[in-house]
């Protein structure tokens, strides 16, 4: 009995000491103690984690920026930055602010596999991979090599939307997702997955989505993720084994990369063909890297474009005058809609830029590590090793940069001259050396999808089955509509 009392006393004392130490560090000795923010962020990640897991991280951090300013402490070792100079400093090429450990867990680099281009944190390895990818993702190469596939898929998507809308209602989120996934899958694998024709995604894409969810779980609740491997719970098992399913399917991308038949060439085949070093003993890219990157490209290039396009159409359909004007503009384009005339359609491009401002699908947070020696940001010294995260979500809603920021103004970007602060703040595709490599592909799909939609589905309306709340955004790194659909109708 006496032993039990003694042990309890020891445990209480240890807990008490831990509490005093945590309070002392949080209040006085942390180098971050002068940074404004809610009191609890000095002591715990739990509140931030709660909002992350419930899909409200960007909204919560935005609220904190509105309340405390451009630099806010959001956790004991993490500071959120929406200060423009701070953002520019962090994302400047060669700044030394590298991606944080968050990226290790987000996409499938588990099982000791190397991280792909998105998650690679080593700047030299990343730069080498980026150089290899750059040419194949350039605007000219995409136009030259993939224009007809992208056109065909956009036409099919709009035809399916129109047919469904005339028959009752069409879920544009579903069709844009199938389109964007079919496009990037075709480019990465060298053959069509025919999801638009099937009207549903393949089991491989189901596995990719499970792998992504598994990544969020691995990042936020690693103990549950690890337990999931052993627990006899089907959902957990699916989430924790999805990485392997995705990786194994990537073998198809390797086969087609090596295939000499032009019809099955994929992005990787084009990269290898364009690479300078033809040395057979030292392959330009390993088979296992192709297997991994093929899946990663699908993750990066599907929901991103689909969600942005969905919000774009929804926002335009909420503004009758804008809808009428854009329908008129695209009706004047030639029947086969070339990329050059799409680039020159002023209202279409302004509407896309505005959709990317308010509804760019990856609006934050982009966490980076303060490099050796620390950094001065917004008048505060941040020591090395601290996580600094930026979010376009907040910069895009700063009223001193974008007047009336919460309003979707499809004409906002019609006047071509952006102010200096707008140029810095506008970052739907991230910035610096880690800027989205798929941005030209995304713009191609956004232009073509939107132009075909407003030409073929003139007079479309939002279905009465939709509520405003259903289009509220949830945020798990990407954003998505809370209702998981966006239904539109069309009169005969």
Q: Closest separation between CB of residue 168 and ligand HEM, Å?
A: 29
Instruction: For ligand HEM, give the closer residue by CB, 137 or 225.
Output: 137
Instruction: For ligand HEM, give the closer residue by CB, 181 or 323.
Output: 181
Instruction: For ligand HEM, give the closer residue by CB, 154 or 236.
Output: 154
Q: Which residues bind ligand HEM (CB under 6 A)?
A: 117-118, 130, 184, 297, 300-301, 304-305, 308, 360-362, 366, 428-430, 434, 436-438, 441-442
CA distances from 242 to 182, 230, 452, 480 (A): 20, 15, 35, 21
Q: Closest separation between CB of residue 320 and ligand HEM, Å?
A: 25
Instruction: For ligand HEM, give the closer residue by CB, 91 or 155.
Output: 91
Instruction: Tell me the H-state helices in 168-250.
Output: 172-189, 195-198, 203-220, 222-228, 234-249
The backbone torsions φ and ψ at residue 421, rounded to the nearest 5 degrees and listed phi first, read -70, -35
Euclidean distance between CA atoms 470 and 152, whole angstroms: 30
Residue 473's closest CA among 355, 350, 302, 347?
A: 355
Instruction: For ligand HEM, give the closer residue by CB, 193 or 429.
Output: 429
3-state SS assignment for residue 272 = helix
Q: Closest separation between CB of residue 377 and ligand HEM, Å?
A: 18
436 is in an annotated binding site: yes
Instruction: For ligand HEM, give the closer residue by CB, 176 or 228.
Output: 176
Instruction: For ligand HEM, give the closer residue by CB, 180 or 217.
Output: 180
Residue 393's closest CA among 365, 369, 435, 421?
A: 365
Q: Closest separation between CB of residue 459 and ligand HEM, Å?
A: 26
Q: Closest separation between CB of residue 38 and ligand HEM, Å?
A: 25
Read off the DSSP letter of residue 360. Answer: -
Buried b (16+ CB within 10 A) or exposed e, 68-79: bebbbbbbbebb
Give the number of C-alpha atoms closer than 13 A to the C-alpha of residue 273, restricted to the C-beta side.
13
Residue 253's closest CA among 178, 186, 302, 180?
A: 186
Instruction: Tell which phi-psi region holds residue 477, choosing left (phi > 0), alpha (psi between -120 and 50) or beta.
Output: left
Measured from each CB, the residue nearest to ligand HEM is 438
CA dihedral 258, 260, 264, 267 (to 10 degrees): 60
Q: Closest separation between CB of residue 430 and ligand HEM, Å?
A: 3
Instruction: For ligand HEM, give the closer residue by CB, 103 or 454.
Output: 103
Across-strand partners of 388?
A: 79, 368
Q: Are 449 and 176 in contact (CB under 8 A)?
A: yes
* Sheet with strand 71-75: strands edge to edge: 71-75, 78-81, 387-390, 366-369, 98-99
Euclidean distance between CA atoms 82 and 72, whole angstroms: 9
Residue 150's closest CA among 194, 184, 105?
A: 184
Euclidean distance between CA atoms 428 and 356, whole angstroms: 6
Read off the DSSP letter of residue 337. Answer: -
Instruction: For ligand HEM, give the closer residue by CB, 208 or 436.
Output: 436
* Sheet with strand 170-171: strands edge to edge: 170-171, 487-489, 461-462
Cβ count within 10 A of residue 397: 20
For the chain, report the end-to-end CA distance as a whole number of angstroms. 84
Known binding-site residue numbers for heme: 436
Annotated binding site: 436
């Amino acid at each position: 009995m006496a032993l039990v009392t003694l042990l309890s006393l020891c445990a209480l004392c240890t807990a008490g000491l831990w509490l005093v130490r945590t309070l002392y560090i949080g209040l006085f000795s942390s180098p971050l103690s002068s940074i404004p923010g809610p009191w609890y962020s000095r002591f715990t990640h739990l509140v931030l984690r709660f909002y992350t897991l419930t899909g409200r991280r960007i909204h919560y951090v935005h609220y904190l920026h509105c309340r405390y300013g451009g630099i806010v402490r959001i956790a004991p070792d993490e500071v959120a930055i929406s200060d423009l100079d701070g953002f520019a400093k962090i994302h400047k090429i060669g700044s030394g602010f590298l991606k944080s450990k968050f990226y290790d867990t987000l996409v499938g680099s588990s099982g000791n596999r190397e991280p792909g281009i998105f998650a690679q944190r080593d700047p030299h390895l990343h730069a080498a991979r980026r150089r290899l990818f750059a040419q194949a993702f350039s605007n000219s190469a995409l136009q030259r090599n993939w224009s007809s596939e992208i056109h065909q898929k956009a036409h099919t998507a709009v035809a399916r939307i129109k047919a469904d809308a005339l028959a009752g209602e069409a879920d544009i989120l579903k069709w844009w997702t199938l389109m964007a996934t079919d496009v990037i899958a075709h480019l990465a694998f060298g053959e069509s997955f025919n999801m638009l024709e099937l009207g549903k995604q393949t089991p491989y894409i189901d596995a990719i989505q499970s792998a992504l969810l598994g990544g969020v779980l691995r990042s936020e609740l690693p103990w549950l993720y690890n337990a999931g491997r052993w627990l006899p719970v089907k959902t957990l098992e699916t989430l924790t084994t999805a990485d392997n399913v995705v990786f194994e399917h990537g073998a198809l991308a390797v086969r087609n990369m090596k295939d000499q038949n032009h019809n099955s060439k994929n992005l990787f085949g084009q990269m290898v063909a364009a690479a300078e070093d033809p040395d057979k003993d030292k392959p330009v890219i390993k088979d296992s890297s192709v297997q991994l990157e093929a899946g990663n490209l699908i993750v990066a290039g599907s929901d991103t474009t689909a969600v942005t396009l969905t919000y774009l159409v929804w926002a335009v359909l909420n503004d009758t005058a804008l809808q009428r004007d854009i329908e008129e503009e695209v009706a004047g384009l030639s029947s086969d809609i070339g990329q050059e005339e799409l680039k020159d359609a002023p209202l279409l491009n302004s509407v896309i830029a505005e959709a990317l401002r308010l509804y760019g699908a990856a609006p934050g947070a982009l966490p980076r590590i303060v490099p050796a020696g620390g950094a001065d940001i917004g008048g505060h010294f941040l020591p090395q090793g601290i996580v600094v995260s930026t979010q376009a979500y907040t910069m895009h809603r700063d009223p001193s940069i974008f007047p009336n920021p919460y309003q979707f103004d499809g004409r906002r970007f019609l006047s071509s001259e952006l102010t200096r602060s707008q140029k810095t703040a506008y970052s739907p595709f991230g910035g610096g050396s880690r800027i989205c490599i798929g941005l030209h592909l995304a713009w191609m799909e956004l232009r073509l999808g939107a132009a075909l939609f407003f030409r073929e589905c003139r007079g479309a309306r939002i279905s009465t089955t939709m509520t405003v709340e259903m289009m509220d955004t949830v945020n798990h790194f990407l954003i998505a509509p809370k209702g998981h659909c966006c239904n539109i109708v069309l009169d005969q």
